[in-house]
Amino acid sequence: MRDGTSYKQNNTDSPHVTIHRQEALVVNFVASSEPHQIGCLNFHDGSTDLALQYEPWDRNYYHLCGTKGVTKIKQSDVYGSYPVSSVWNILADGSLQASLSVLDKNSYNNRTYTRKEDFTTTEVHLNTSVTLVAFVKPGMLLLQDDPKRKEQLGRPHFKARIVFEPL
């Protein structure tokens, strides 16, 4: 998604908010009861699948991004953040749902994690300062409403849902 008038393109070329229908992501998927991939036909960076950037140390925010091919949540040999694409479900009303896991680092090996908690979410936070889209754990406070945050945030964040509509 791109918008050259109302929003700025970020450096990573990840999907972000647009108000122009012709700039929206065009996706394809086969509905399944299990978490599955969603193909994207018009990423500008050559990615082929919709994904979430998985950062084991950040258990609350999962930024929308693109990737090439099937990627799943890893529990070993984790060196940093990575995209996961086999996390999606489309609900009956068209809402996009992500199935994610919270991992805890093992004390004996810094690159190995154990599964602590599984959750599903349709909650999305939009960061309008940089036009990023992030799936969040259900019930997460918007950054400007979190009393633990001290820094200024610039433009406000908003809660949203992503709903697919047939073309």
**Where in the sequence is the domain holding 79, given as residue range(s)?**
21-160
- Total domains present in the chain: 1
What's the pTM? 0.77
Residue 1, domain member (yes or no): no
Contact assessment for residue 1 and residue 17, using Cβ atoms and an 8 Å cutoff:
yes
Residue 121, domain member (yes or no): yes
Residue 36, domain member (yes or no): yes
Q: Is the pLDDT of residue 114 over 90?
A: no
Three-state DSSP at 135 gives: strand
Residue 11, domain member (yes or no): no
pLDDT in tens, 11-51: 345 666 677 777 778 888 887 888 899 998 888 778 889 99
Residue 9, domain member (yes or no): no
- What pLDDT is attached to residue 2? 32
Residue 8, domain member (yes or no): no
Residue 69, domain member (yes or no): yes
- What pLDDT is attached to residue 56? 67
Vertex 48 angle, CA 29 and 116, to 5°: 75
Residue 34 CB partners (closer than 8 Å, separation 6+): none
| Residue 141 one-letter amino acid | L
Instruction: Please give the DSSP secondary-structure letter assigned to residue 22.
Output: G
Instruction: Name the band, by pLDDT with cuts 50, 70 and 90, for residue 10.
Output: very low
Of 53-57, 85-89, 123-127, minimum mean pLDDT range:
53-57
Residue 134, domain member (yes or no): yes
The token pair that represents 159 in the structure block: 């809660």
